[in-house]
Structure formats: structure tokens, C-alpha cells
């Protein structure tokens, strides 16, 4: 089953699609402004977040911003019986004051990329009769039948990482670095760990690199029978303390942070199990080597066996182990190894029969699914081919089917597929999603229905309900572009990109790109180009997904061509596409972006003397490397929040790609921007948030000094109080105007 997306989209006529839509009134389109992009109501229409089925399957719940404040979220439902969307819980009815968060929770939300106010997280009880909301550092219990909220905690401390126990009898949370369990019926609290908050100990919490780089936001896990909680005890003592400035408009805060910069010590981590009474803690032996990571922990269905993933410091070895509580013995279930690195995933599912599990592996060069016995013996490979599985969505044990999202049709789209558990034909999978584009899937607990959050390059996000065979049942949020849709005044002016591919300079690798051209181009006229880049690992920019009326569309409106290319090292193409960056960042990525610019040079409407580059984070790093190393191709650049010296970044991310500094000193030197500063010949602007706790502001101050020493002229814009994500309408509006003004001054 192969569908080349480039060919598929060439068959589409943007103007024909617009004219064919009976819901678009007229052909006039308003001029988009940067101010409007970040104002309410959202131009993307209704875009519900955190979609979930209730445990009984009677409703689908989601978070939605208020009409007058898209950043304040309430909990809504689509009732499957009454077939209507309605407000379920108003966040202001729970708490109507100004929310105050602990520093731990602020950092946790920054790692989760949770931005907003009101209800930002919610949890269903086991039977679906109640909900939990963490708000303003306390816990609110909401009973759906009575529609009454009860505040479970009222302390000066902050409660975080709130969970229902699997059967709904307890609520657990972290308070002052310790784990607590609260009996819902009696209201009695039990403190399960005691040494948290002392001598740099944190219990049940995820360390910095686990949150930022491993996607693990918790440090404790309930057993299914509610008798035990497995948890991680984190000792931060070995990690160096750095004093980081957070510069705000009217103050400077000196933050002491234990930051594990690459090559330095990580936390010491201990895996343990406590009973629910907190009287007995059992330490699990993870080996003599303490310089390790534990990225994943998961109970088996029998509640007697606990699995955990042991990862070596160099990330070239990943071992899946199981531990038996009664026998206090453990066994190795499987081992993954690589000469480069092992990509972590969350695709480990233990089947309810207590006999086998499904596991994802890149052992054949692409992420695929494998079926193992609980003793670690391979039963069969379930999927196979030159494409990757995204994520397991549901396993139907009764009918022996595995449902997953993946890229079997094209790497530029994500679809829902199924495959039999017998593994007889791993090359052949059945596609359930109908429409070309990007699908995000949530299954009901009984596996009979699923929610499909869908969009493509011409369709804003739509949320629909489907039965197990993929048939459409109803819309949950059709989000149709009618004359009442917020994007309607701008819809006719939206520009569809051309998708295509180029061959990298190795003569073999296919590189996908998107090319946006302004409307009403004048024949014979040459136009400036901005290459919008990210270019780093675990990311993809070129895909058939809704972009909407964004900054790209604004720049097109100003007469710029916009170009995006996914270089080697980026995601969803297999290990052969990712691994060329190992131990040498900023080389093959820049080479591939140059391949893209050479293609632009071949286009008669491109002014090759006005090709700029712009990116944020890794994209900011790429903008610097491109300007410094390839000034003949990139004539002006904007670099946002860039890493400039990889010694300043954290252990887990940096060592994954560059190895340990002691083992690859020359690679670190060549991967930093500083050896190449003398190559800067064109105009450059750098911007950075002055409270960034991810890519530290030190990266930019070090760059400033180095460029001053080289007598290189540049522009600088700093944002007091801004973190790495540059949140807030005022910041976004000013930043985008600053970028636009920069390119206008140098290219217009």
C-alpha cells in the first residue's frame, strides 16, 4: 500500500477546492495581521484538547478555551446519548482566583508544554463517576451525578502529579517530595515515603532529564490491585548546582538549579516498591552501575510482577527487565543495542492473558512491532517494511488484532492501521482511516469505538467518532469552515504549499520539502525566500497537516517565498535517516539544507541573493550554523533561543547524539558554532528569552561575546521573563513583527 503524497497533492487545485465549497461566501479575503493570529477566537476554530472517553463510554470529554479567553480552559463533553456538546465543568466554578503554582509545578508544566489557565489536567475515576482536578496547588474531587466539587486538600504546600488509584479507592499525589495516598471514603491521608525533601531526595518524582528528554512526567506507579506503589527515589546530590539568572522586567532572580550538563554527573536513582500503608519499602537491585537511566516502569496485569527499562549512560543499550515481588527475583526479558543510540518509546503492552507482550523495536532499521512471551522469547514480528510505526493504540485480544498509528502509506501522513497478532503477513497491514492527512487516535476502554482528531493541509482540525472498522459515527467537533468560522475572512487567501522531494548529496537519500509561493506572482519577477528550519532529531516539519493562518501565511502575504525541508537526522524515516548526525551535529543537516537552496536557485522566480533562514531552538542552532558555514547560500538569518555550545546542554539529549565529551572532544568542538563565526558575512539577528531554563540564556551571552571579539556585527532582541517557548500574545506579536521587520530591512 503506497501513496506518494507529492503526487496526491499535485492532483488538488486549491482554488477549485475553495470554489467548490458551498460554505465559503464570496471570494474576498481579509488581510491577515500578526495581531489577529494570536487573538481570540482562535483562527483554527474549535480545537479541543485532552480528548478522552469516559470509562463507561457514555461521553467524550475535552478541554476547550473560553470564547473570550482562549488560554483559560474548561472541561466539556460530547454526550453520546443526547448527542450534544455541552460544558461539563466550569473552571471558574472550581477556582476563580489567580492560580499560584509551585516552582516544581511550573517546571513540570514547562516540560509538558502545558500552557494556559483553569483546568489543564483531569483524571477519571475507575467507574467514570468522578473526576480529579489539580488546581492552584490543591486537589478538587468532582462528582458527576451531583455536580458538586469537593476540595480534598487544603494545605500551604503544593500537591502535584495527582492520580486516582486503578480501582478508584484512593487519590495519590506528591507533596514536598514525598508520596501520599488519600482514602476517598474516609478522607484519611497516608504518607508513604518519609525522606523526601531531605538531603536532596525526591520520591515519586521525575528528574529534569526524564521530564525534558525521556517523556516521563511521573515517578510513581500503582499496581492494579491497589496494594503497592512502585516509585523512583531520586538523589540529586551528585548533580552540579548552577546559579542561573532569570531576568524579568523589574527584577533579576538567581535560581539555584541542579542542572546535569553533558559530561557531568546525573542523579542517582533507586527503584523501590512500597505497600499502600507505607510501612514497608522494598528496594529493587538495578545493578552495581549507578550511572544509568530508568526511563520506563510498568506493572504487569497480575500485580505481582513489575517491569522496568534499564538504559546505559551512553544510550546504546536498553534492557527490559521484570521483577517478581513475592520471589524478589528478576529476569531480563530482552535487550536492545545499537552502535549509535536507542530511541525510547512507550509501546510496551502486556496482554491480559499474562502470557505475552507487544514491544516496539528498531532492530531492522525501522520502528516495528514484535510479539514476545513473558519470558522474553520472540513469538513473531507483527509489522515489517521500509516505514515506521508511530504508536500502539489498542489491542483486541479477543479478535487477535493490534491497532496502531504509522506511516505505511507515506512518511508525510499518519494513519490508523490494524494487523493480526499471528504475524503471518507483517508486510501487509489494513488501513482504517479514510482521509489523507494526519490522524491522532483515542480508543474507548472496550475498544469498540475511537476518537479521530484529523487535519490535512487544507482542512482545520476535525474531531469525529468512529466504530472499530473505521466507519464514521458522528462529529464531535466538525469545525467546518462556514461563514461563521473565525478563519473564514482569511480562508480564500490561504496558500497551499507544493510538496516534493530532492536527493541528498549522498546520491541516495530522499529529502522531502514544502514550498509556499505568494499569490499573484508577477512573471519575470524574482522573490526573496525564507527557509523556515528546525532540523533537529525527533521532529518533522514537512507533513500533510493543517497549518492555518499562521506566521508563514503572513510572510507569504508580504511577498516572501517560504521553504521547509526535513534534513537527515529528523524523525519518522528510520535509523539510516537519523544516524548520520551521530557525533557530529550541524554538518549533514546544513549540507541537506544547502541541497534545498540549490534547488531554489533552479527556480526562475527565486532571487538567490535574497535567501534567508529562520529557526528556533535547534532551528536557531541551524540558522547560526547555516549563516556561519554557508554564507554563499544564506544571505540573512534569524536565530531564536539557539544552542551555541553543546557543553551547555543536558546529559541525556546531548550524549545521545554526541556521545560523552571525554569520548568525542573533537565532535563537541566541531558541533559548536564558535569555530565558524568568522564565516559570517550577512545580517544576523539573535533573540532569546531571558528566563529560559531549557536552552540557557548563557548560550546567547557566550555567542554575543564571541561575535564581539570577532568584530562581527549583529542584531539582538531579548525578552525579559520569557521561557524557551516564548509564551504570551504580547511576546509573540512583538517577536514576529521583529522577525518580519528584520527580513524587510534586508530583503525589501
CATH number of the domain enclosing 611: 3.40.50.1820
Q: Are residues 503 and 463 in the same domain?
A: no
C-alpha–C-alpha distance, residues 333 and 575, integer Å: 23
* Consecutive H or E run containing 658: helix 651-658
- Spell out the residues 6+ positions from residue 293 whose beta carbon is closer than 8 angstroms to its own: 209, 210, 214, 266, 269, 310, 311, 312, 313, 315, 652
Q: How confident is the model at residue 69 (pLDDT cuts 50, 70, 90)?
A: confident
**Position with higher pLDDT, 108 vs 208:** 208
CA 542 to chain centre: 16
In this structure, are strands 606-616 and 292-299 parallel, antiparallel, or unpaired?
Answer: unpaired
Please check whether residues 390 and 466 belong to one and the same domain: yes
Per-residue model confidence (pLDDT) at position 67: 74
* Average pLDDT of span 208-221: 96
Does some domain include residue 573?
A: yes
Return the active site residues: 617, 692, 724
Percentage of residues in the chain with pLDDT exceeding 90? 84
Mean pLDDT confidence for 158-162? 93
Decide which of 477, 509, 544 is a domain's last residue. 477
Yes or no: say if 103 and 58 are a contact pair by the CB < 8 Å rule. no
Mean pLDDT score, 261-282: 96
Same domain for 503 and 468: no
Tell me: pLDDT of 17 over 60: no
| Grid-cell match 528510520, residue found | 574
Work out whether strand 606-616 and strand 449-456 pair parallel, antiparallel, or are unpaired: unpaired
Q: With bands split at pLDDT 50, 70 and 90, how would you rate the model's confidence at 177? A: very high
Structural domain total, the chain: 2
Q: Is residue 164 part of a domain?
A: yes
H helices of 38-149, in order, are: 91-94, 103-112
DSSP-derived 3-state class of residue 164: strand
Tell the residue number behind the cell numbers 507482550, with chain if given.
357
What does the pLDDT read at residue 10?
40
Tell me, yes or no, whether 288 lies in a domain. Answer: yes
Domain boundary residue, one of 424, 449, 477: 477
Q: Is residue 19 part of a domain?
A: no
466 and 520, same domain (yes or no): no
User: In angstroms, rounded to a whole number, what is the distance separating the alpha carbons of residues 94 and 328?
Assistant: 45
Q: Are residues 468 and 515 in the same domain?
A: no
- Average pLDDT score over the chain: 93
Mean pLDDT of all residues in 513-524: 97
34, part of any domain: no
Q: CA-to-CA distance for 572 and 428, rounded, in angstroms?
A: 19
The answer to whether 688 touches 621, Cβ cutoff 8 Å, is: no
> Is 141 found in the same domain as 103?
yes
Domain region containing 327: 45-477
What is the b/e burial string over 599-631, where b = at least 16 CB atoms within 10 angstroms of the residue's CB? Answer: bbeebebbbbebbbbbbbbbbbbbbbbbbbbbe
The strand pairing partners of 282, in sequence order, are 273
What is the domain-level CATH number for residue 355? 2.140.10.30
- Identify whether residues 455 and 520 lie together within a single domain: no
Query: Do 467 and 514 reside in the same domain of the chain?
Result: no
Q: Would you tell me how many other CB atoms lie within 10 Å of the CB of residue 462? A: 22
pLDDT recorded at residue 113: 63
Cell of 583: 557525533
pLDDT of residue 746: 98
Residue ending a domain, choose from 446, 477, 508: 477
Q: How confident is the model at residue 106 (pLDDT cuts 50, 70, 90)?
A: low
Q: Which range is least confidently modeled, 227-236, 251-260, 281-290, 538-547? A: 251-260
CA 452 to mean position of chain CA atoms = 18
Segment 381-427, tens digit of pLDDT: 999 999 999 999 999 999 999 999 999 999 999 999 999 999 999 99
| Residue 208: per-residue pLDDT | 92
Amino acid at each position: 500500500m503506497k501513496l506518494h503524497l507529492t503526487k496526491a497533492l499535485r492532483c488538488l487545485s486549491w482554488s477549485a477546492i475553495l470554489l467548490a465549497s458551498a460554505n465559503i461566501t464570496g471570494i474576498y479575503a481579509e488581510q491577515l495581521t500578526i495581531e489577529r493570529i494570536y487573538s481570540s477566537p482562535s483562527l483554527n476554530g474549535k480545537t479541543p484538547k485532552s480528548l478522552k472517553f469516559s470509562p463507561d463510554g457514555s461521553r467524550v470529554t475535552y478541554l476547550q478555551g473560553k470564547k473570550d479567553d482562549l488560554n483559560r480552559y474548561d472541561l466539556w463533553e460530547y454526550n453520546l446519548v443526547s448527542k450534544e456538546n455541552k460544558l461539563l465543568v466550569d473552571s471558574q466554578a472550581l477556582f476563580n482566583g489567580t492560580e499560584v503554582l509551585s516552582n516544581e509545578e511550573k517546571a513540570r508544566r514547562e516540560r509538558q508544554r502545558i500552557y494556559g489557565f483553569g483546568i489543564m489536567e483531569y483524571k477519571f475515576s475507575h467507574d467514570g463517576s468522578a473526576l480529579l482536578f489539580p488546581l492552584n496547588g490543591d486537589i478538587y474531587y468532582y462528582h458527576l451525578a451531583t455536580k458538586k466539587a469537593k476540595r480534598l486538600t487544603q494545605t500551604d504546600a503544593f500537591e502535584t502529579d495527582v492520580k486516582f488509584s486503578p480501582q478508584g479507592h484512593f487519590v495519590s499525589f506528591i507533596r514536598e517530595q514525598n508520596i501520599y495516598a488519600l482514602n476517598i471514603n474516609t478522607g484519611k491521608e497516608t504518607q508513604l515515603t518519609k525522606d523526601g525533601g531531605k538531603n536532596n531526595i525526591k520520591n515519586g518524582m521525575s528528574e529534569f532529564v526524564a521530564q525534558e528528554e525521556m517523556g516521563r512526567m511521573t515517578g510513581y506507579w500503582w499496581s492494579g490491585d491497589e496494594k503497592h506503589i512502585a516509585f523512583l527515589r531520586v538523589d540529586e546530590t551528585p548533580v552540579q548546582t548552577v546559579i542561573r539568572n532569570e531576568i524579568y522586567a523589574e527584577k533579576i532572580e538567581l535560581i539555584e538549579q541542579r542542572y546535569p550538563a553533558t559530561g557531568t554527573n546525573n542523579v542517582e536513582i533507586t527503584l523501590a516498591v512500597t505497600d499502600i500503608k507505607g510501612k514497608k519499602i522494598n528496594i529493587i537491585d538495578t545493578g552495581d552501575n549507578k550511572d544509568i537511566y530508568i526511563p520506563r516502569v510498568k506493572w504487569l496485569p497480575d500485580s505481582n510482577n513489575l517491569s522496568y527499562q534499564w538504559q546505559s549512560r551512553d544510550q546504546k543499550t536498553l534492557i527490559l527487565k521484570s521483577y517478581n515481588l513475592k520471589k524478589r527475583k528478576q529476569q531480563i526479558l530482552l535487550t536492545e543495542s545499537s552502535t549509535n543510540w536507542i530511541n525510547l518509546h512507550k509501546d510496551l503492552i502486556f496482554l491480559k492473558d499474562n502470557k505475552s507482550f507487544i514491544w516496539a523495536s528498531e532492530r531492522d532499521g525501522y520502528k516495528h512491532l514484535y510479539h514476545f512471551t513473558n519470558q522474553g522469547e520472540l513469538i513473531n514480528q507483527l509489522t515489517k517494511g521500509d516505514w515506521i510505526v508511530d504508536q500502539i493504540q489498542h489491542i483486541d485480544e479477543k479478535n487477535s488484532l493490534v491497532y496502531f498509528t504509522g506511516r505505511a502509506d507515506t512518511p508525510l501522513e499518519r494513519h490508523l492501521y490494524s494487523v493480526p497478532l499471528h504475524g503471518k503477513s507483517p508486510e501487509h497491514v489494513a488501513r482504517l482511516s479514510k482521509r489523507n492527512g494526519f490522524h491522532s487516535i483515542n480508543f474507548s476502554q472496550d475498544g469498540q469505538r475511537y476518537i479521530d482528531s484529523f487535519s490535512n493541509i487544507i482542512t482545520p482540525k476535525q474531531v469525529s467518532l468512529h466504530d472499530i472498522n473505521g466507519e464514521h459515527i458522528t462529529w464531535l467537533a466538525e469545525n467546518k469552515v462556514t461563514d461563521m468560522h473565525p478563519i473564514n475572512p482569511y480562508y480564500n487567501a490561504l496558500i497551499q504549499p507544493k510538496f516534493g522531494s530532492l536527493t541528498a548529496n549522498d546520491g541516495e537519500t530522499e529529502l522531502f520539502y514544502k514550498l509556499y509561493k505568494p499569490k499573484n506572482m508577477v512573471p519575470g519577477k524574482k522573490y526573496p525566500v525564507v527557509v523556515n528550519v528546525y532540523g533537529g532529531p525527533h521532529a518533522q516539519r514537512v507533513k500533510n497537516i493543517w497549518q492555518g493562518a499562521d506566521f508563514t501565511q503572513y510572510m507569504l502575504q508580504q511577498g516572501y517565498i517560504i521553504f521547509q525541508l526535513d534534513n537527515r537526522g529528523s524523525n519518522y524515516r528510520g535509523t539510516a535517516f537519523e544516524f548520520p548526525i551521530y557525533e557530529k551535529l550541524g554538518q549533514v543537516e546544513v549540507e541537506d539544507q544547502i541541497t534545498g537552496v540549490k534547488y531554489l536557485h533552479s527556480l526562475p522566480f527565486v532571487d538567490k541573493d535574497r535567501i534567508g533562514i529562520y529557526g528556533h531552538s535547534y532551528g536557531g542552532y541551524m540558522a547560526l550554523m547555516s549563516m556561519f558555514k554557508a554564507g554563499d547560500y544564506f544571505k540573512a538569518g534569524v536565530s531564536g533561543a539557539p544552542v551555541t555550545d553543546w557543553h551547555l546542554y543536558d546529559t541525556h539529549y546531548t550524549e545521545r547524539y554526541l556521545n560523552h565529551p571525554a569520548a568525542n572532544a573533537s565532535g563537541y568542538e566541531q558541533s559548536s558554532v564558535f569555530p565558524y563565526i568568522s564565516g559570517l558575512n550577512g545580517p544576523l539577528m539573535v533573540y532569546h528569552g531571558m528566563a529560559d531554563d531549557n536552552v540557557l540564556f548563557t548560550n546567547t551571552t557566550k555567542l554575543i561575546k564571541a561575535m564581539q571579539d570577532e568584530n562581527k556585527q549583529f542584531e539582538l532582541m531579548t525578552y525579559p521573563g520569557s521561557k524557551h517557548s516564548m509564551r504570551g500574545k504580547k511576546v509573540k506579536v512583538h517577536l514576529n513583527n521583529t522577525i518580519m521587520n528584520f527580513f524587510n530591512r534586508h530583503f525589501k
